[in-house]
Amino acid sequence: MYSDGSSPIHGRWKKTHMLSRFDQYIVEVLITQDAIARRVAEMGREVAATYGNSLPLLVGVLKGSALFMADLIRHMDIPLEMDFMAVASYAGHEPGQSSGAVRITKDLDHVIEGREVLLVEGIVDTGMTSGYILRNLKARQPRSIRLCTLLDKPARRIVKVPVAFRGFEIPDRFVVGYGLDFQQLYRNLPYIGVLSGEATGLARD
């Protein structure tokens, strides 16, 4: 709850026919555009106060953090550098084929040894991806490494990851928007919405 009495989380369901065709499978707006903007501004100031003039390197995890990262740094009035990395996501398994292992598809351009590093995520869910990246970056011996995420879904955590800066703790719902996708769609929604079970395939149960 914010000081003006508004809540960042909206509980009411929106009927499909009330929404435009593009977002017709969004059944609920969980966090509004305004709420995101306010919270990201707060987080930017909080992160800036933590790092001061230590020239932190902000590492965005592609692609989910792109919008959050872009907005976050505009509220940080300190010198900083930014970089991105990407890892391959789990892609299922066909009979006779190996599911393989996570790998970095885009590595950092910077050397981070001795640097203050902030890993920026759009969402921390099971913690598997963040856990892998944190472990990978720690091995490069930065001076410090912290995790900043817009959304934290602790109900589904499998791998414990230390979240230093958290935008919103959200319930166990399937969310998209503001950089987060489902099958590469919906990243451009300006709010965080709940995707229908019909779209995700979860409706059958």
Partner 1 sequence: MAVITISREPGALGEEVAARVAGLLGFLLVDRGFLARFRQEADLGEADVAGVDEANLGEECGSDPESEDCAKLRPDLIARLAGDHDLVVIGGGGQGLFQNRPGTLHVRIVASRRFRVGQARSHRGLTAREARRYIMDLEARRSRYVRFLYRMNWADPSLYDLTLRMDRLSIEQALNLIVAAADEMRLRQVPRRLIVENLLPEIEKRRSSARFANDTEREFARFLEFYRIPYQYEPRTFPLEVDANGKVLEAFAPDFYLPEQDLFIELTTMKQSLVTRKNRKIRKLRRLHPEVNIRIFYQRDFYNLLAKYGLLKETSDKNVRPPDRE
Binding site for partner 1 (CB under 8 A): 21-22, 24-25, 89-93, 98-104, 107, 125-126, 128-129, 131-132, 135-136, 139-140, 156, 158-160, 172, 174, 182-183, 185, 198-202, 204-205
| Nearer residue to partner 1 within complex by CB, 7 or 141 | 141
Helices assigned H by DSSP within the chain: 33-51, 66-73, 128-138, 197-200
- Provide the minimum distance between the beta carbon of 48 and partner 1 in the complex, in angstroms, as a whole number: 29
How far apart are CB 15 and partner 1 at their closest, in Å?
Answer: 17
Task: Tell the burial category of 72 from Cβ atoms under 10 Å away from its Cβ (0-12, 13-18, 19+).
Answer: buried
What distance in Å separates the CA atoms of residue 118 and residue 127, rounded to the nearest whole number? 16
Q: Which two tokens stand for residue 45?
A: 């100031």
Question: Whole-number minimum distance, CB 185 to partner 1, in Å?
Answer: 7
Could you tell me the smallest distance in angstroms from the CB atom of residue 101 to partner 1? 6
Return d(Cα 72, Cα 70) in angstroms, integer. Answer: 6
Which of 109, 125, 181, 205 is catalytic? The answer is: 125
Q: Where are the beta strands (DSSP E) in the chain?
A: 26-31, 57-61, 81-87, 104-106, 116-124, 144-152, 165-169, 175-176, 192-195
Question: Rounded to an integer, what distance in angstroms lies between the CA atom of residue 122 and that of residue 19?
Answer: 24
Known catalytic residue at 125: yes
Nearest distance, CB of residue 160 and partner 1, angstroms:
6
Amino acid occupying residue 184: Q
- Identify which of residues 39 and 131 has a Cβ nearer to partner 1 in the complex: 131
Closest CB to partner 1 among residues 76, 153: 153
CB atoms within 10 A of CB 39: 17
**Would you say 49 or 155 has its CB closer to partner 1?**
155
* SS3 label, residue 105: strand
Closer by beta carbon to partner 1, 55 or else 202: 202
- Which residue numbers are catalytic? 125
